[in-house]
Amino acid sequence: MHEPSTERLTGQFARLDPRLSARFRTDGDHVVVASGEIDLATAPKLWEALALLIDRGHREVVVDMAGVEFMDSQGIAAILRAQKCLAPEGGTVVIRAPRDQARKVFEITGLSELIRVED
């Protein structure tokens, strides 16, 4: 089992997109912090960040969306893809602190029933 760490993930994440970053938190959450817009241009970078954490064996991946101003269907697809990868192993994606627009997207699409959304 991976021991929680306070180290910041760099390297691969540094090349992704300046609006996306990932970090380990001391409470064991594996967090991808997103800001700006998650759309056609940035959703592939979100998926890369999520996939890296999944590939490292993390079974709960948190997407901190407090800084996300807009998310379209491409962002939803990246999050759903991660959920589909994690579910067979008993894992999950957790959405943390989405703003109103993103929260509405999760509610309207029914994703809030599939993926945990936290304030």
CATH number, domain of 63, equals 3.30.750.24
Full residue range of the structural domain in which residue 53 is found: 20-118
Note the pLDDT tens digit of each residue in 72-104.
999 999 999 999 999 999 999 999 999 999 999
- Average pLDDT over all residues of the chain: 82
Total domains present in the chain: 1
42, two tokens? 């940035």
Note the pLDDT tens digit of each residue in 31-57.
998 888 898 888 998 998 999 899 989
Query: Residue 83: what pLDDT?
Result: 97
Report the sign of the C-alpha dihedral through residues 10, 83, 87, 29, in that order.
positive
φ/ψ bin of 28: left (φ > 0), alpha (ψ from -120 to 50), beta (otherwise): left
Note the pLDDT tens digit of each residue in 18-38.
666 544 443 456 899 888 889
53, two tokens? 């954490």
Which helix or strand (DSSP H or E) is residue 53 part of? helix 43-55
- Distance (Å, rounded) from C-alpha 62 to C-alpha 92? 9
Query: Residue 47: what pLDDT?
Result: 93
92, two tokens? 């999950």
pTM exceeds 0.85, yes or no: no
Cβ pair 63, 96 in contact under 8 A: yes
- Higher pLDDT pick, 3 / 81: 81
